[in-house]
Amino acid sequence: MYEAVLFDMDGVIVDTEHSVTDFWQRLAASEGFSLSTEDLERHVYGHRADHTLRELFPGISPGRYGEIYERLRKNQESLLYAAIPGVHRLVAALAGAGVPLALVTGAQDWKAAAVLGQLELTETFATQICADDVALGKPHPACYLLAAERLGVGIDRCLVFEDAVSGVTSAVTAGAACVALAPPRRAGQVLGAGALTVVRDFDDIAFDPRERTLSAAGRERLPFAAAPGGRDLPAH
């Protein structure tokens, strides 16, 4: 049985794929090249900015990273963010049932604050793990292990929602179960990385507080342990 749910942010809580792609493609254009779909999948989505710079921008010296981070910050803080469909309903149902929630992102804490503030989810998560909280980012499992430790829940009792191969790999390597939010073009990749199943968005996810089960696209029925204190919570 599961006891806690851990959420990635970009592509899971908030729809940022277009804005993230646009920023890195514009940076690449300024350096005289463009990024392929494979580049984006392997080294941008689900990765920290320092990883992307090292892997895709070898012509940019580490001495310029601070400049790039500042450009990224100004870009991201200027955006209007849109929630992934169904996320508010699901987190409200889980929180109402006493399920501990964590945010686990490779983004900086300032971006997490901007996203959660705009989406009115600031008070939703019991803990947040951001880029500077761990030495190694996804696909390394450190971020998910730290989130479980902070919640006081065994990682094997945690269910993770991720969208990128690196994130799924991070969660599964840590020892958690993972449901992936991904388009059809990425479904085979996230399943190959170890995801239990793939859904389009949270409209394909339902949590039943009476039975304490979460169902994914009608295929997976994942049971949750009783709420703290053993209290039964009514369905809403």
Q: What is the pTM of this model?
A: 0.85
Mean pLDDT by 10 residues, the chain (236 residues): 97 89 94 95 89 96 95 86 96 97 96 94 97 96 98 98 96 98 94 96 96 88 82 40
Contact 196, 43 (CB under 8 A): no
Contact 174, 19 (CB under 8 A): no
Contact 159, 6 (CB under 8 A): yes
For 219, residues 6+ apart whose C-beta sits below 8 A from its C-beta are 197
CATH 3.40.50.1000 corresponds to the domain 4-15+82-230: yes
For residues 28 and 12, what is the distance between their CA atoms, to the nearest angstrom?
25
**CATH fold of the domain at 17-77:** DNA polymerase; domain 1 (1.10.150)
* In the chain, where the domains are located: 4-15+82-230, 17-77
pLDDT tens digits, one per residue of 186-226: 999 999 999 999 999 999 999 999 999 999 987 779 999 99
For residues 34 and 27, what is the distance between their CA atoms, to the nearest angstrom?
9
pLDDT tens digits, one per residue of 25-42: 999 999 999 999 999 989
